[in-house]
Amino acid sequence: MKKKILKNIDWGIFICCILLSIIGMVALFSATYDSEDTSLQRQIIWFVICIPIVFIIIFIDYEAIAKISPIFYGIVLILLVIVLFTDPVNGATSWFDLGFLSIQPAEFAKIAVILFLALVLCKIQEKGKDEINRPTKLLLALAVVAIPVLLIIKQPDYGTAAAFLVATVMILFTAGINKKYIIGTILLVIIAVPLLYFFVLPEHAKERIEVFLNPESDPRGSGYNLTQSKLAIGAGQLTGMGLLKGNQTQLGFLYPKTTDFIFSVIGEEMRDVESLNLLRQAAESGRMDWAWRGVRSKGRDNAHTPMQWDASPNGGFTGGAPWIMVNPNVQEINVAAALRDPDSVLHYYRALLALRREQDVLRYGDFSLLLHEHPQVFAYARTFEGQQIRIYCNFTDRDAPLPEAFCKEKVLLTNVNYEKTDVLLPYEAAVVMA
């Protein structure tokens, strides 16, 4: 008997479920990296618990499950009634908060309704294949679905209710319902949708629909999550940016990341071959800490954010939603702030360009390397028509003494302010007339 049951298992579906679970846990790892969120830990625990439960259920005869489906259905209905009296979460009374665990009865209702509806349809069809097309029998089957759906709408949870209706149509179609009922249902839905939208749906539900159709209408408000999700998936394209490399995910623009928006994390980051190979090699060598630092620091889009013109929303780059959000340092680092600061990098680059325009030697001069053996300094000279200009660059975090023959006698430009001519300060670059 056991061998027969194992033989009848659809191992393809089972393996796909396992792989999808693993992908989900990898995405949770990225979404909760460097945070105190315990979603990943909880997911792993439930994964370990549920695997043996799956096999236990497999070994239970389906007829036994069918027999208890009315009891399961009744319990779920009771829970759907009780949950209406709980405290709202995000405007909906959909959850039982047990402290260590949150339960959503509507999720159990999906299983209970399918099982009980299947049992009812089987009982109806035992009297004949066409029995399901008798109005009284069809209404009975629909009532099985209608009661929990109405309770779920009361929460309110319109998305789950809509899922029930779609599943019901598919089940009835499989059961052999007459096509005229299917066509009638479609026409009824077409007529009912605008009526429900204008006269039944609350304002927050209408707002969700409108934002779904046009998230750019309120990109910083109700359309924010949807906009950020689109940006994340668009940035990842087909191959993904790599684990822990997603700008939207790692910079906190996706929130919450551990709910339905986990799909955006997957779309943005998954399938970066370079990162995965790096992690595999690190695991083999026992240097995972080093590998994670490399993956985080070398993401290809770390510097590909929109131009930060000022401290306004989106850095003044656009009035809409950019493909990647600006860096969180936009309030301090932007063009407007740099213009106000005479010691900014912007003004330094302007001075460099002005010096290049003034000095023909910098544009047309021959290049020669200086201080070949200096451990800290990269230095070179440009020579043209008897004139020479030397450039000294200290790429270290320590003072770099200069040989006497190369002391800075006439400094044309430097990125620091000081009087010594025989030393380069840490990270100093100096342009000197020889």
Q: For residue 183, what pLDDT is reported?
A: 83
pLDDT for res 283: 61
The pLDDT of residue 237 is 64
Task: Please give the pLDDT value at position 235.
Answer: 62
Cα separation of 216 and 223, whole Å? 7
- For residue 139, what pLDDT is reported? 87
Q: Is the Cα dihedral 93, 95, 97, 98 positive or negative? A: positive
pTM of the model: 0.52
- Contact assessment for residue 77 and residue 147, using Cβ atoms and an 8 Å cutoff: yes
Q: Are 258 and 28 in contact (CB under 8 A)?
A: yes
**For position 199, what pLDDT does the model report?**
77
**What pLDDT does 194 receive?**
80
430, β-bridge pairs: 392, 414
Tokens standing for residue 401: 């003494």
Is the previous residue joined to 256 through a cis bond, with omega within 30 degrees of 0? yes
Q: Nearest to residue 33, comparing CAs of 329, 330, 261, 293?
A: 293
Q: Which amino acid is at 368?
A: S
List the chain domain ranges: 62-201, 346-433
CA–CA distance, 34 with 291 (Å, rounded to integer): 15
For strand 387-394 and strand 429-433, is the pairing parallel, antiparallel, or unpaired?
antiparallel
pLDDT at position 131, please? 80
pLDDT score for 173? 83
Looking at domain 346-433, what is its CATH homologous superfamily?
Golgi alpha-mannosidase II (2.60.40.1180)
What is the pLDDT tens value at each position of the chain, 434 positions in all? 555 556 667 778 888 888 888 888 887 887 777 677 777 888 888 888 888 888 888 777 777 888 888 899 999 999 999 988 888 876 678 888 777 677 888 888 888 988 999 888 888 888 777 788 888 888 888 888 889 988 988 888 878 888 888 888 888 888 888 888 878 878 887 887 788 778 777 777 777 777 777 776 666 666 777 777 776 666 666 566 666 666 666 666 666 666 777 777 766 666 545 555 655 666 666 665 655 555 555 544 455 678 889 988 888 888 776 666 677 778 888 999 999 998 888 999 999 999 999 999 999 999 999 988 888 999 999 999 989 999 999 989 898 888 887 777 788 888 887 766 788 889 899 898 88
The Cα 312–Cα 319 span in angstroms is 10
